[in-house]
């Protein structure tokens, strides 16, 4: 209980320190001085987040429905694994792939000019590009969560629906929708928060100030205009709204904790027209997901790697990224284990759930692990930036502290959704046996916890490592020749129109992320 409570208290105090720092440097009249410019930013931020959420859920739902009923085609498991990887795909990689296909000089424009002489222009930059990128990332995430809910429906319900002669639509509305709607609401809350605080996608594909969100406006106010007062005003507004959204979505779940459960199997075939529709949906959306990744590979193959790999800035960016990602992943695993241990102590009747105040302490522990949803990384970066102005220390140390804090808090909600249910199961199953055998904490960890949790630890280590490796958030405020990461280096290459080198770096970053995300869990699974 004590280590987890200590971590939770430290995280909550950290959030309070950031909030107090932002408030102290602000003029104090934030809410009373909201002008039309701020209202416009807030209106567009909410508008694009709402549209992105609705479109992501729609495409995620129809894809999950199709995959749930078509389980025996070649390559299905690989396709589902690819959709799962969307969670860790760096947003810059997605943007690079989409620009390669849909941009002014993209494949689609070249094909249209060749066949019809017509160019689509720069339609990708603006609201349309933001929505496409958000749907690309979040629809695949939603489909993976919803697919598990579809596959968890008891086969007896399908047999009853079959015996009653339900059509595909009746079966969906009366059987499947009832089973998946809780996952839909929780996924909607997660996706909305992710789109509301989206940064890199809006920064690159926004195209003009009229398509800026609060997050991008904060970055421009600090990095470009150095208007700290305006940045603070926006940061406090976004912090208040994000915190309110997290509190309202207190039942938030990501669905990641159930990926390894077995699914039911429906033994009969769909009607012919339904089968054709499902295969059409799978083929179309799979092609839409895979094409940007293929574009990154196709462009990256032609890069001059002898030049890229010998660039001092690239080498420094790679080493910095790997070190930060490794430390972030280790801290995420440790924090997740301690918080989950404390949480199960307050929740289980065999431990302390009947103790006065245990529910409140359990809620505080749970909320501390989801701070990132309430305090996005860029606001965290602004807080560190202001602290660096107040306390004397090398800017490099402040930058490293900000990046590590943001990466750990970004990964914690997903890590807890995986490790917390597993740790509760081990406690329910082995607590009394461990006590009767008189196992010490170290012996219990070695013989009870580690064998059962090894696979989950490997997964969340890989997840945290990959998320940290591809993140472009806080580093956008602190990035310089003194401290640079692969995403920041790639962003600089894209901004200076060094497209060939950018393609090579993008391919290296994508292979690193996907290789680590796929390889580390396999290593832990073999050891288990």
Tens of pLDDT, residue by residue over 271-309, are 788 889 989 999 999 999 999 999 999 888 888 888 888
Q: Of 300, 271, 227, 359, whose CA–CA distance to 504 is shortest?
A: 300
| Number of domains into which the chain is organized | 1
Q: Is residue 496 part of a domain?
A: no
CA pair distance 234, 240, nearest whole angstrom: 10
CA pair distance 137, 143, nearest whole angstrom: 11
Q: What is the DSSP letter of 447?
A: I
Q: Is residue 430 part of a domain?
A: no
106: left (phi over 0), alpha (psi -120 to 50) or beta: beta
**pLDDT on residue 528:** 56
Cβ–Cβ under 8 Å, residues 215 and 406: no
CA pair distance 371, 205, nearest whole angstrom: 27
Which ranges of 117-269 would DSSP assign to H, the alpha helix? 127-151, 155-163, 168-171, 177-196, 200-205, 214-223, 228-248
Q: Is residue 166 part of a domain?
A: yes
CATH number at residue 60: 1.10.3720.10
Q: What is the DSSP letter of 152?
A: T
Cβ–Cβ under 8 Å, residues 140 and 58: no
In this prediction the pTM is 0.81
Within 13 Å, how many C-alpha atoms sit on residue 277's CB side? 11
Q: Which two tokens stand for residue 245?
A: 């959204």
Q: Is 126 exposed, middle or buried, given 0-12, 13-18 or 19+ CB atoms closer than 10 A?
A: middle
Angle in degrees, CA 461, 463, 464, rounded to 5: 65
The interaxial angle of helices 358-369 and 395-437, nearest 10 deg, is 140
Cβ–Cβ under 8 Å, residues 100 and 106: yes
CA pair distance 381, 475, nearest whole angstrom: 8
Tell me, rounded to whole angstroms, the distance of Cα 227 from its chain centroid.
30
Q: Is residue 243 part of a domain?
A: no
Q: Which two tokens stand for residue 361?
A: 């302490």
Q: Is residue 129 part of a domain?
A: yes
Q: Which two tokens stand for residue 170?
A: 């009746």
Q: Is residue 55 part of a domain?
A: yes
Angle in degrees, CA 373, 377, 380, rounded to 5: 105
Q: Is residue 228 part of a domain?
A: no
Number of neighbouring beta carbons within 10 Å of residue 429: 12
Q: Is residue 433 part of a domain?
A: no
Q: Is 310 exposed, middle or buried, given 0-12, 13-18 or 19+ CB atoms closer than 10 A?
A: exposed
Range of the domain at 165: 40-208+259-297
Digit-by-digit pLDDT tens for the chain (528 residues) are 788 888 888 888 888 887 777 777 765 555 556 778 888 888 999 999 999 999 999 999 999 999 988 887 888 888 888 888 887 888 888 888 888 888 888 788 888 888 887 777 778 888 898 999 999 989 988 888 788 888 878 888 888 888 888 888 888 888 888 888 887 887 888 888 888 888 888 888 886 777 888 888 888 887 777 777 787 788 778 877 877 777 666 544 444 333 333 445 555 667 788 889 989 999 999 999 999 999 999 888 888 888 888 888 889 999 989 999 999 999 999 998 988 888 878 776 667 666 776 777 777 777 777 777 667 777 778 788 778 777 777 777 888 888 888 888 888 888 887 888 788 788 878 878 888 888 888 888 888 888 888 888 888 899 889 888 888 777 877 777 678 888 888 888 887 778 888 889 989 999 998 888 888 877 776 655
Cβ–Cβ under 8 Å, residues 491 and 92: yes
């Amino acid at each position: 209980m004590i280590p987890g409570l200590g971590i939770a208290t430290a995280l909550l105090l950290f959030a309070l320190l950031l909030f107090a720092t932002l408030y102290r440097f602000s003029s104090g009249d934030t809410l009373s001085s909201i002008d039309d410019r701020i209202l416009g930013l807030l209106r567009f931020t909410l508008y694009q987040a709402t549209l992105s959420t609705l479109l992501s859920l729609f495409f995620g739902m129809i894809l999950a429905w199709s995959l749930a009923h078509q389980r025996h085609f070649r390559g299905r498991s690989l396709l589902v694994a690819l959709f799962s990887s969307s969670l860790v795909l760096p947003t810059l990689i997605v943007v690079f792939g989409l620009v390669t296909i849909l941009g002014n000089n993209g494949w689609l424009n070249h094909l249209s000019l060749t066949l019809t002489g017509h160019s689509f222009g720069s339609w990708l930059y603006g609201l349309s590009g933001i929505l496409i990128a958000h749907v690309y990332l979040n629809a695949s995430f939603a489909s993976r969560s919803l697919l598990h809910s579809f596959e968890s429906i008891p086969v007896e319900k399908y047999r009853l629906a079959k015996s009653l002669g339900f059509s595909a639509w009746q079966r969906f509305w009366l059987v499947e929708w009832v089973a998946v709607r809780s996952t839909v609401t929780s996924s909607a809350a997660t996706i909305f928060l992710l789109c509301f605080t989206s940064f890199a996608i809006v920064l690159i594909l926004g195209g003009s100030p009229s398509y800026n969100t609060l997050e991008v406006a904060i970055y421009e106010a600090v990095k470009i205009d150095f208007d700290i007062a305006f940045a603070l005003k926006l940061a406090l507004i976004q912090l208040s709204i994000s915190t309110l959204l997290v509190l309202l979505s207190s039942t938030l779940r990501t669905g990641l904790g159930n990926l390894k459960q077995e699914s039911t199997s429906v033994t009969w075939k769909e009607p012919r027209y339904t089968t054709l529709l499902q295969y059409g949906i799978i083929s179309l959306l799979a092609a839409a997901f895979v094409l940007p990744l293929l574009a990154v590979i196709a462009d990256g193959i032609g890069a001059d790697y002898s030049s890229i790999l010998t660039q001092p800035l690239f080498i420094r960016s790679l080493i910095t990224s790997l070190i930060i990602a490794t430390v972030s992943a280790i801290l995420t695993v440790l924090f997740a284990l301690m918080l989950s241990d404390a949480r199960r102590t307050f929740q289980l009747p065999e431990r302390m759930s009947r103790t006065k105040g245990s529910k409140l302490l359990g809620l505080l522990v749970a909320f501390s692990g989801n701070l990132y949803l309430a305090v996005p990384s860029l606001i965290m970066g602004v807080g560190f930036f202001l602290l660096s102005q107040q306390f004397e220390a090398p800017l490099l140390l402040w930058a490293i502290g900000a990046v590590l804090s943001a990466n750990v808090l970004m990964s914690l909600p997903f890590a807890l959704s995986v490790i917390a249910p597993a740790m509760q199961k081990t406690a329910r199953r082995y607590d009394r046996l461990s006590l009767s055998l008189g196992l010490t904490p170290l012996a219990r960890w070695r013989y009870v916890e580690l064998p059962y949790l090894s696979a989950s630890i490997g997964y969340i280590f890989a997840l945290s490592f990959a998320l940290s490796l591809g993140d472009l958030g806080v580093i956008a405020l602190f990035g310089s020749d003194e401290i640079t990461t692969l995403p920041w280096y790639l962003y600089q290459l894209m901004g200076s129109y060094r497209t060939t080198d950018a393609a090579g770096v993008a391919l290296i970053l994508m292979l690193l992320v996907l290789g680590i995300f796929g390889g580390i869990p396999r290593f832990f699974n073999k050891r288990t």
